[in-house]
Amino acid sequence: MLLLNYQQQEKKMQRKRYSAEFKAKIALEAIKGLKTVNEIAGEFGVHPTQIQQWKKQLLERLPDIFSQKQEKRKKQDEELTAQLYQQIGQLKVELDWVKKKAGLLGK
């Protein structure tokens, strides 16, 4: 009986996980200001403090959406990836050549 109560409490205590889309939707509702944070919290079953945090995160990251830095960083990452793949290919060719030469010496 005691174990059963513990398991029920454990299920109630599990942390809720929300999708990024859900968080964005709630944060946008809060930013619009058509409803109070408490009304939004009651409607969606989320604590008002959590809504305030999501709203703050959205407002902080919003300028990055239109930023050139993000595009530049993405381009640099793509260039680095291409260079690394090229280097991997070159090293594989060299390794195959060394294996071939080592096989000829062993005979």
pLDDT of residue 71: 80
| pTM exceeds 0.75 | no
Both structure tokens of 5? 């109560």
pLDDT of residue 96: 92
CA 87 to chain centre: 28
Residue ranges making up the domain that contains 60: 16-66
Domain membership of residue 7 (yes or no) is: no
Domain membership of residue 4 (yes or no) is: no
pLDDT at 77 over 70: yes
On whether both 86 and 60 belong to a single domain, the answer is no
What's the N-to-C CA distance of the chain in angstroms? 75
Structural domains of the chain, count? 2
92 vs 4, more confident: 92
On whether both 60 and 23 belong to a single domain, the answer is yes
pLDDT at 47 over 80: yes
pLDDT at 107 over 90: no
On whether both 26 and 38 belong to a single domain, the answer is yes
pLDDT of residue 101: 87
Report the SS3 class of residue 107.
coil
% of the chain beyond a pLDDT of 90: 63
Q: Report the alpha-carbon angle 51-59-46, nearest 5.
A: 10
pLDDT of residue 6: 59
